[in-house]
């Protein structure tokens, strides 16, 4: 019986593994630094078709007996009225890419389902070159076809993915077809219920990337943990000529080193550097870094800094730092919808700067690359996270794979950004054994691919009689404890905050990763009238007094920089499907609390 059970379990494990990986079939490793490569931008208007039932991927045969199957010919031409074909993308409505569909057409505002996107593009592929079709993000699932061939699929709405299309492209017209669906599910990451709008579609740029047959696919170039004069990392070649040398140059400091990759194309990097100006919020110095092989060249702008903890301190370049900031959703200022542009990033990060921030928490999922690159340039430290949010099915192995995939894709894209100091695993998750195992595994995974940064999670504290204690068992495994608390909004009167004693089971730094309350910009009244700016401001006035009393507090990210759309926020005239906890409204009005927090940040 035991043997039989073991065999059965083994089989089950294998099947689970196959299922898990067959649904995550986009090719990895991701190409590093898309903006530094030769690309054809495929943004703009795409033909689109709503498909509520998701039927168009198959012929609708067999639905009604004795009738001819109806054809959906996304991949061929529509046969102009000579045959029954119930679809015509040539004349269908268009959608902008990048962009969510919800804010592009009124009748798609609440839409959660399948959408077909098609782009025709004239190309002249060069012999000897390789081509990759790269998506910045599609929420939530994407199935991609080129010229009628299915390339594969990708799950996870906020991370990049790519497919090699070298053998499929032809001279002349090429067709790219994408089925995007944003159907929620309890076994997905995130799950069914989130406090943000489930914007669907091709929400980030699409690029066709051209590379040489053998090319520099990826590299990791950062300072070694705790060492301000030692650059460490690796470079990876793909292609048939993997043994060619790769030269790494940082011309400004006269660095030039050549390495020889092993047979898999991998070469470790390690050099001692002198006179390096360290990256910091005060001096966000980025260096031009150039990688050259016989067949490829790529340049990037990279900053160098160290980040560590010592007891309850966070050390940036060896010196204690207090993180002053706000949490930010990837919500577009002024127009709502998913943010994606340089203008969006500039507006949001400029507000953060005006608040006096040296740090931002990019909640609750990986934001677009423009955002993290701009944080590098503007000198904002970043907490980066994946949507392991609320009631995740922690007990399911396939759910773990989804979370780990998103984590690795996030780290893969942003590992060279000096701004990113924290990889966060989860937000407000229940304290169960399954969850602890799941998140510990994610932390171990993170450390195995990037040991230069800190790990964190947004936890809860336990309240009892004037005491707030952090004792979540996950505290043992993270480098930095995040805590979300809503004293003055969801719990306790605001005025009690300064009287509360904070304690922690762990000798680690604490970041108050969320705090705040809602207000309607421009709505004024007494400080005890909920929804007024005064009410929200009162919460902040008391919060900052409390913060001054927490000996192990090393950072704060207010919830939230800007009002954002959420299906959870139903109250007409006040919320109208917006979470109004912004310090700034979605129309750019700074609320009273903005200035209160700014004043406190000036004292830090
Ligand atoms: C939280 C969540 C955040 C919500 C916020 C709220 O704790 O982490 O996603 O938006 O509270 O406003 O309730």
- Examine the pLDDT at 534 and tell me if it is beyond 80: yes
End residue of a domain, out of 212, 228, 254? 212
Decide if 416 contacts 376 (C-beta within 8 A): no
The answer to whether position 524 is within a domain reads no
The answer to whether position 574 is within a domain reads no
**Confidence tier at 77 by pLDDT (50, 70, 90):** low
The answer to whether position 25 is within a domain reads no
- Examine the pLDDT at 143 and tell me if it is beyond 70: yes
**φ, ψ of residue 105 in degrees (nearest 5):** -140, 135
pLDDT digits (tens, 9 = 90+) for 415-447: 999 999 999 999 999 999 999 999 999 999 999
* C-beta atoms surrounding 397 within 10 Å: 14
Decide if 253 contacts 214 (C-beta within 8 A): no
Of the candidates 112, 118, 114, 71, which has an alpha carbon nearest to the alpha carbon of residue 91? 118
pLDDT digits (tens, 9 = 90+) for 387-401: 999 999 999 999 999
CA 176 – CA 503 distance, rounded (Å): 56
Measured in Å, residue 16 CA sits from the centre of ligand 1 at: 33
- Give the strands of the sheet with 462-464, arranged side by side: 462-464, 467-470, 501-504
195 and 94 housed in the same domain: yes
73 and 164 housed in the same domain: yes
488 and 501 housed in the same domain: yes
Work out the percent of the chain whose per-residue pLDDT is above 70.
91
User: Is the CB of 557 within 6 Å of ligand 1?
Assistant: no
Classify burial at 394, counting beta carbons within 10 Å of its beta carbon; exposed 0-12, middle 13-18, buried 19 or more: buried
The answer to whether position 333 is within a domain reads yes
The answer to whether position 125 is within a domain reads yes
The CATH number assigned to the domain holding 245 equals 2.60.40.10
With residue 377 as reference, give the H or E element that holds it: helix 369-378
Alpha carbon distance, N-terminus to C-terminus of the chain: 66
319 and 267 housed in the same domain: no
- Examine the pLDDT at 111 and tell me if it is beyond 60: yes
With residue 436 as reference, give the H or E element that holds it: helix 433-449
| Encoded tokens for 17 | 């593994």
Q: Which residues contact 483 (CB under 8 A, 6 or more apart)?
A: 458, 459, 460, 461, 470, 510, 511, 512, 513
| Encoded tokens for 581 | 């906890």
Q: Which atom of ligand 1 is nearest to the CA of 579?
A: 12
234 and 271 housed in the same domain: yes
pLDDT digits (tens, 9 = 90+) for 518-527: 999 999 999 9
**Confidence tier at 70 by pLDDT (50, 70, 90):** low
- Examine the pLDDT at 4 and tell me if it is beyond 60: no
Q: Which residue has the tokens 């407000």?
A: 428
66 and 100 housed in the same domain: yes
Measured in Å, residue 558 CA sits from the centre of ligand 1 at: 11
CA 376 – CA 575 distance, rounded (Å): 34
Q: Which residues contact 386 (CB under 8 A, 6 or more apart)?
A: 158, 189, 365, 366, 403, 406, 407, 410, 424, 425, 426
Of the candidates 405, 371, 413, 447, which has an alpha carbon nearest to the alpha carbon of residue 218? 413
Between helices 342-354 and 369-378, what is the axis angle to 10°?
A: 40
50 and 131 housed in the same domain: yes
User: Is the CB of 428 within 6 Å of ligand 1?
Assistant: yes
CA 148 – CA 350 distance, rounded (Å): 44
The CATH number assigned to the domain holding 343 equals 3.20.20.80
- Rounded to two decimals, the ipTM of the complex is 0.99
In this structure, of 56-70, 496-510, 589-603, the range with the lowest mean pLDDT score is 56-70
Per-residue CA distances from 537 to 232, 329, 499, 523 (Å): 46, 21, 18, 12
The CATH number assigned to the domain holding 121 equals 2.60.120.260
Per-residue CA distances from 43 to 47, 88, 99, 159, 451 (Å): 12, 21, 10, 17, 36
87 and 160 housed in the same domain: yes
CA 482 – CA 489 distance, rounded (Å): 19
3-state secondary structure (DSSP) of residue 53: coil
User: Is the CB of 429 within 6 Å of ligand 1?
Assistant: no
Domain that holds residue 510: 308-516+547-560+593-603
The answer to whether position 361 is within a domain reads yes
User: Is the CB of 518 within 6 Å of ligand 1?
Assistant: no
CA 522 – CA 360 distance, rounded (Å): 25
Q: Which atom of ligand 1 is nearest to the CA of 490?
A: 13
Decide if 198 contacts 112 (C-beta within 8 A): yes
3-state SS string over 209-249? EEEECCEEEEEEEEECCCCCCEEEEEEEEECCCCCCCEEEE
CA 487 – CA 495 distance, rounded (Å): 9
CA 418 – CA 286 distance, rounded (Å): 9
Give the per-residue pLDDT at 72.
65
CA 9 – CA 4 distance, rounded (Å): 9
End residue of a domain, out of 212, 231, 255? 212
pLDDT digits (tens, 9 = 90+) for 184-229: 999 999 999 999 999 999 999 999 999 999 999 999 999 999 999 9
With residue 463 as reference, give the H or E element that holds it: strand 462-464
User: Is the CB of 194 within 6 Å of ligand 1?
Assistant: no
355 and 253 housed in the same domain: no
Q: Which residue has the tokens 């952090």?
A: 470
Nearest C-alpha to atom 4 of ligand 1 is from which residue? 195
Expressed in percent and rounded to 5, the helix, strand and coil fractions of the chain are 20, 35, 45
End residue of a domain, out of 183, 212, 241? 212
Classify burial at 398, counting beta carbons within 10 Å of its beta carbon; exposed 0-12, middle 13-18, buried 19 or more: middle
The answer to whether position 578 is within a domain reads no
Measured in Å, residue 579 CA sits from the centre of ligand 1 at: 9
**Confidence tier at 90 by pLDDT (50, 70, 90):** confident
Average pLDDT over residues 163-184: 96
261 and 402 housed in the same domain: no
| Encoded tokens for 356 | 């006096």
Residue 61 or residue 50, greater confidence: 50
User: Is the CB of 578 within 6 Å of ligand 1?
Assistant: no
3-state secondary structure (DSSP) of residue 295: coil
Considering its fold, how many domains does the chain have in total?
Answer: 3
- Examine the pLDDT at 26 and tell me if it is beyond 70: no
CA 328 – CA 136 distance, rounded (Å): 19
The answer to whether position 502 is within a domain reads yes
Give the per-residue pLDDT at 16.
40
Mean predicted lDDT score pLDDT of the chain: 93
Measured in Å, residue 381 CA sits from the centre of ligand 1 at: 21
413 and 318 housed in the same domain: yes
**Confidence tier at 3 by pLDDT (50, 70, 90):** very low
Give the dihedral of Cα atoms 540, 546, 547, 551; nearest 10 deg.
180
Bridge partners, 135 (sequence order)? 161, 206
Decide if 122 contacts 356 (C-beta within 8 A): no
CA 94 – CA 575 distance, rounded (Å): 31
User: Is the CB of 537 within 6 Å of ligand 1?
Assistant: no
345 and 262 housed in the same domain: no
């Amino acid at each position: 019986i035991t043997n039989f059970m073991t065999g059965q379990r083994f089989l089950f494990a294998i099947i689970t593994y196959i299922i898990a990986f067959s649904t995550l079939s986009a090719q990895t490793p991701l190409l590093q630094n898309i903006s530094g490569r030769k690309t054809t931008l495929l943004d703009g208007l795409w033909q689109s078709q709503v498909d509520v039932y998701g039927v168009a991927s198959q012929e609708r045969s067999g639905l009604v007996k004795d009738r001819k199957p109806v054809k959906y010919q996304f991949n061929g031409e529509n046969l102009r009225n000579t045959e029954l074909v119930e679809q015509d993308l040539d004349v269908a409505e268009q959608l902008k890419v990048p962009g969510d569909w919800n804010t592009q057409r009124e009748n798609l505002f609440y839409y959660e389902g399948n959408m077909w996107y098609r782009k025709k593009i004239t190309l002249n592929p060069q012999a000897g070159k390789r081509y990759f079709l790269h998506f910045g993000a599609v929420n939530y699932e994407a199935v991609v076809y080129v010229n009628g061939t299915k390339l594969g699929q990708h799950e996870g709405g906020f991370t990049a993915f790519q497919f090699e299309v070298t053998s499929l492209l032809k001279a002349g017209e090429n067709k790219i077809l994408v089925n995007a669906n944003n159907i929620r599910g309890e076994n997905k990451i995130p799950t069914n219920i989130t406090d943000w709008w489930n914007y669907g579609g091709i929400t980030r740029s699409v690029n066709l990337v051209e590379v040489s047959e053998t090319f520099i696919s990826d590299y990791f170039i950062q300072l070694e943990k705790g060492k301000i004069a030692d650059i460490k990392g690796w470079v990876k070649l793909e292609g048939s000529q993997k043994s060619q040398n790769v030269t790494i140059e940082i011309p400004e400091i006269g660095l030039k080193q050549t390495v020889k990759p092993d047979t898999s194309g991998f070469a470790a990097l390690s050099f001692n550097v002198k006179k390096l100006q360290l990256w910091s919020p005060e001096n966000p110095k980025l260096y031009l870094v150039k990688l050259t092989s016989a067949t490829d060249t790529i340049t990037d702008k990279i900053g160098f800094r160290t980040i560590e903890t010592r007891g309850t301190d966070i050390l940036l370049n060896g010196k204690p730092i207090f993180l002053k900031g706000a949490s930010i959703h990837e919500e577009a200022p002024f127009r709502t919808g998913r943010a994606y542009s340089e203008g969006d990033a500039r507006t949001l990060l400029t507000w953060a700067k005006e608040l006096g921030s040296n740090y931002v928490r990019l909640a609750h999922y990986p934001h677009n690359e423009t955002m993290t690159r701009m944080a590098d340039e503007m000198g904002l430290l970043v907490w980066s996270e994946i949507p392991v949010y609320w009631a995740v099915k922690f007990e399911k192995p396939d759910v773990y794979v989804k979370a780990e995939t998103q984590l690795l894709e996030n780290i893969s894209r942003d590992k060279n950004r000096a701004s990113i100091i924290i990889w966060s695993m989860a937000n407000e998750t229940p304290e169960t054994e399954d969850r602890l195992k799941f998140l510990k595994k994610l932390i171990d995974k993170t450390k195995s691919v990037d040991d230069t940064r800190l790990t964190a999670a947004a936890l809860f504290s336990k309240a009892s009689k004037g005491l707030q204690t952090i004792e979540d068992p996950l505290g043992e495994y993270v480098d930095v404890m995040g805590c979300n608390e809503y004293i003055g909004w969801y719990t306790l009167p605001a005025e009690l905050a300064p009287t509360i004693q904070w304690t922690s089971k762990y000798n680690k730094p604490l970041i108050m990763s969320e705090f705040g309350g809602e207000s309607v910009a421009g709505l004024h009244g007494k400080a005890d009238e909920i929804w007024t700016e005064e009410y929200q401001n009162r919460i902040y006035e008391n919060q900052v007094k409390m913060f001054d009393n927490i000996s192990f507090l090393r950072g704060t990210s207010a919830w939230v920089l800007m009002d954002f759309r959420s299906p959870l926020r139903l109250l007409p005239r006040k919320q109208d499907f917006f979470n109004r906890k912004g310090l700034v409204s979605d129309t750019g009005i700074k609320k009273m609390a903005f200035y209160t927090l700014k004043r406190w940040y000036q004292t830090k």
